[in-house]
């Protein structure tokens, strides 16, 4: 549905802008560049957030496609299932959307990770498109999809947890504060439970030198070198980022869809119909969105 795409795009962009500095911190800590405090000092060196926002173009550039897949697949899959309001339907739809989004998200996150970890003189250029061209030129198409398997293993169950948790916490209370809280908690749970897989994914995708030959090899070498604690390294930054980013995302989605409902049924109905959107789009809004 057009509404799923628009709301998901706005919500996703809002969440990325709010949480990208903490995502950069997470990647640096996961890659063994020091403690959270040491990495924070390095990222803020110079007194600006320029380094912390490095690589933000990659997720922003693909967020429309990613969120169209996530929210579009989730909404349409759930509505196609029997007993579509059950928690099982929400979880199943989330798992399907997580699986499909991985094919788009994996190369986006690889480019983002390489840009976030880039050092002067290592050959990685500035800028998202330049980074894509560099990775493709030096490693071919397969290099852009390095880490796809671990991305699927992370995202499919993570989004099942994500949407199910949000539904549990937001049922019966669609206030703005509760939508933000439910989205934030859903984000935390989906990240914390799958976090070790995210650590391995970050290390594989950030491995420009080719040290790891696969997921199991990366896991063994990481634990051997840095101990078991490396599987939870950076979780503090992830927890804060997950709550903020996903709270903002769900709030933006809810506000967008609620605003669409108000204006589609009042002032903008003639414009929407003139633009080619159907009556079904105007009315296909469920009671899960909070009151403005």
Q: Are 40 and 130 in contact (CB under 8 A)?
A: no
Who has greater pLDDT, 153 or 113?
153
pLDDT at 12 over 70: no
Rounded Cα distance, 177 and 163, in Å: 18
Under the banding of pLDDT at 50, 70 and 90, the label for residue 279 is very low
- Chain-centroid distance, C-alpha 235: 16
pLDDT (mean) for 145-164: 95
Judged by average pLDDT, the poorest of 70-84, 118-132, 154-168, 259-273 is 259-273
Cα three-residue angle 216-221-222, rounded to 5 degrees: 95
Q: Residue 267 CB: number of other CB atoms within 10 A?
A: 10
Q: Report the share of the chain in percent with pLDDT over 70.
A: 80
Q: Are 163 and 93 in contact (CB under 8 A)?
A: yes
pLDDT (mean) for 137-159: 93
Rounded Cα distance, 190 and 8, in Å: 18
Rounded Cα distance, 289 and 167, in Å: 11
pLDDT (mean) for 76-88: 92
Rounded Cα distance, 221 and 117, in Å: 19
Is residue 274 packed enough to be buried (19+ CB in 10 Å), middle (13-18) or exposed (0-12)?
Answer: exposed
The average confidence (pLDDT) of the chain is 80
The interaxial angle of helices 148-170 and 57-80, nearest 10 deg, is 60
* Structure-block tokens of residue 82: 């029997």
Indicate the fold that domain 2-283 takes in CATH. Mitochondrial carrier fold (1.50.40)
Q: Are 230 and 179 in contact (CB under 8 A)?
A: no
Who has greater pLDDT, 134 or 40?
134
Token pair 């439970």: residue: 193
Domain spans of the chain?
2-283
Q: What's the pLDDT score for residue 127?
A: 78
pLDDT at 221 over 90: yes
Alpha-carbon distance values, 251 to 5, 182, 275 (Å): 15, 10, 26
Alpha-carbon distance values, 226 to 23, 30, 217, 223, 229 (Å): 21, 11, 14, 5, 7
Best-predicted range by mean pLDDT (28-32, 39-43, 80-84, 281-285): 80-84
- The DSSP secondary-structure symbol of 278 reads -
pLDDT at 213 over 80: yes
Phi, psi dihedrals of residue 227, rounded to the nearest 5° = 80, 170
Who has greater pLDDT, 191 or 271?
191
Q: Are 183 and 206 in contact (CB under 8 A)?
A: no
- For residue range 155-199, what is the model confidence (pLDDT) as tens digits? 999 999 999 999 999 988 888 899 999 999 999 999 999 999 999
Q: Mind giving me the DSSP string for 204-250? A: HHT-TT---SSHHHHHHHHHHHH-GGGGGTTHHHHHHHHHHHHHHHH
Judged by average pLDDT, the poorest of 4-13, 94-103, 116-125, 162-171 is 4-13
Token pair 């414009």: residue: 271
The interaxial angle of helices 2-30 and 57-80, nearest 10 deg, is 130
pLDDT (mean) for 194-223: 90
């Amino acid at each position: 549905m057009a509404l799923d795409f628009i709301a998901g795009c706005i919500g996703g962009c809002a969440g990325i802008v709010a949480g990208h500095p903490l995502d950069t911190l997470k990647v640096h800590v996961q890659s063994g560049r020091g403690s959270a405090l040491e990495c924070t000092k390095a990222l803020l060196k110079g007194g600006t957030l320029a380094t912390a926002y490095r690589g933000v173009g990659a997720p922003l550039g693909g967020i429309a496609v990613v969120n169209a897949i996530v929210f579009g697949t989730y909404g349409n899959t759930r509505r196609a299932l029997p007993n579509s309001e059950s928690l099982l339907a929400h979880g199943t739809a989330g798992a399907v959307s997580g699986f499909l989004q991985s094919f788009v998200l994996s190369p986006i996150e690889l480019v983002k990770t390489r840009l976030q970890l880039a050092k002067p003189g290592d050959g990685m250029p500035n800028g998202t498109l330049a980074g894509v061209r560099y990775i493709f030129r030096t490693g071919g198409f397969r290099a852009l999809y390095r880490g796809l398997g671990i991305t699927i293993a992370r995202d499919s169950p993570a989004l099942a947890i994500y949407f199910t948790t949000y539904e549990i916490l937001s049922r019966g209370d669609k206030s703005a504060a509760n939508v933000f809280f439910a989205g934030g908690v859903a984000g935390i749970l989906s990240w914390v439970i799958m976090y070790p897989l995210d650590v391995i994914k970050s290390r594989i995708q950030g491995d420009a030198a080719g040290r790891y030959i696969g997921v199991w090899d990366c896991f063994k070498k990481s634990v051997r070198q840095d101990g078991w604690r490396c599987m939870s390294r950076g979780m503090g930054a992830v927890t804060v980022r997950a709550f903020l980013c996903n709270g903002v995302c769900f709030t933006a989605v809810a506000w967008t869809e609620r605003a669409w409902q108000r204006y589609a049924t009042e002032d903008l109905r003639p414009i929407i119909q003139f633009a080619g959107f159907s009556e079904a789009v105007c009315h296909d809004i469920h009671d899960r969105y909070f009151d403005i």
